[in-house]
A = this chain, B = another copy of it.
Amino acid sequence: MGSSLSKTHPDLTISAAGGISSLLMADKITGILTPHMVPLDSRGGIDESELRRYVDWLIDRGVHGLYPNGSTGEFIRFTAEERRRIVQIVCHQAAGRVPVLAGAAEANVRETIAACEAYAGFGARAVAIVSPFYYRLGPESVYAYFREIALASPIDVTLYNIPMFASPIDVPTIQRLAEFERVVGIKDSSGDLAFMMRMIAAVRPSRPEFSFLTGWEAVLVPMLLIGADGGTHATSGVVPELTRMLFDLTAKRDLDQAMKLQYRLLELFDSMLYSADFPEGFRVAVTLRGFAMGDSRQPMSSTQQVDREKLRKVLHCLLADFGYVQPPAEGCPVRRNSEKERELSQIVGGVVEELRRRGVL
């Protein structure tokens, strides 16, 4: 029986080797590309100097690329002119140090193509186009929309699937769109590992350089292990050191350390995501990292302002626990169970050592 499994099954070798093989494909979009927020000044306008400082900071902390005008970047709350200005600033400041994946979805295909042309001119590596939103369109409409963009864009296009906010892009549609050379990747924010595997199994055999990026950092390490090429997610704008480290640890197959950090990232992620309407929790956290992000363009009720202050304290302690910021003057609550956990940790450590000694591991 077993011998049947030792036969090489080509597509799976390829799938699992995605992250590895991609290291030698110079053009492939891989790694952590940060969909960053945009600092606003006291009048609600783009704070250009703070945005440039934030871009430098992210690059210094190891992000592999930048992604302006994503969901985290609140593209929909800016005007068309502002969206262009944001990409221009980011491309200029990045200055080729890292690639820029520019969110280019506009009111319709014509406007989107115009944005693609502009972003190509600014030096973006590729554009990212979210699936049509507001209306929930079916697969044929989604295909027709991206097809027209793929045919007319002067710059590489990545698809952006975020079914909680926009029309879903299903696997057969992705497979059809992968036939266009201009389409070079997909960002998927569903968080569904089996869906990611289905996409990879459908596209990678014929397009090994096609890039699969996850937008659900809660499961970044497992996504990389099943063959995703990288991630583009809000948390990398808060703790770029951590998401980069997760990527590197996974590439080196240091799973124990990677999983430890994945669990800690999940706690931070849940706190930012579920304590306020997205992406407000992330704005609070970026502020804690030392940036003047300004007030959201989405107004807040007085109840929300109180909740935001509570969230700020929680995030402050979480970030201090990582060592990324100084703890608050008033201190942080002791982490639950920590004594017991330490003790158990030692026991488990002993077990692992014993198992290794016996040759089980």
Contacts and interface: CB of A to CB of B under 8 A. Distances in A.
28 contacts: A5-B261, A10-B341, A11-B341, A12-B261, A12-B264, A13-B260, A13-B348, A14-B348, A21-B351, A71-B134, A76-B134, A79-B111, A80-B80, A109-B299, A134-B165, A138-B277, A141-B304, A194-B216, A198-B266, A201-B263, A201-B267, A205-B344, A206-B340, A208-B344, A219-B222, A221-B225, A225-B259, A226-B262
Contacts of A148: 299
Please indicate which of the listed interface residues A5, A138, A253, A270 has the most CB atoms of chain B within 10 Å of its own CB.
A5
Given A110-B297, A136-B165, 13 more contacts: A2-B245, A8-B342, A17-B351, A20-B348, A21-B352, A133-B133, A136-B164, A140-B303, A141-B300, A193-B218, A194-B266, A208-B344, A221-B225
Contacts of A221: 225-226
A322 interface: yes
Contacts of A351: 17, 20-21, 23-24
A145 interface: yes
Interface in A4-56: 4-5, 7-17, 20-21, 23-24, 44
Given A222-B193, A323-B4, A15 B263 contact: yes
A76 B107 contact: yes
Interface in A201-216: 201, 205-206, 208, 216
Contacts of A262: 197, 226
A352 B17 CA distance: 8
Interface string A291-309: 0000001111101100000
Nearest to A304: B140
Interface string A209-238: 000000010110110011100000000000
A85 to B, nearest CB: 13
Interface in A293-347: 297-301, 303-304, 322-324, 337-338, 340-342, 344-345, 347
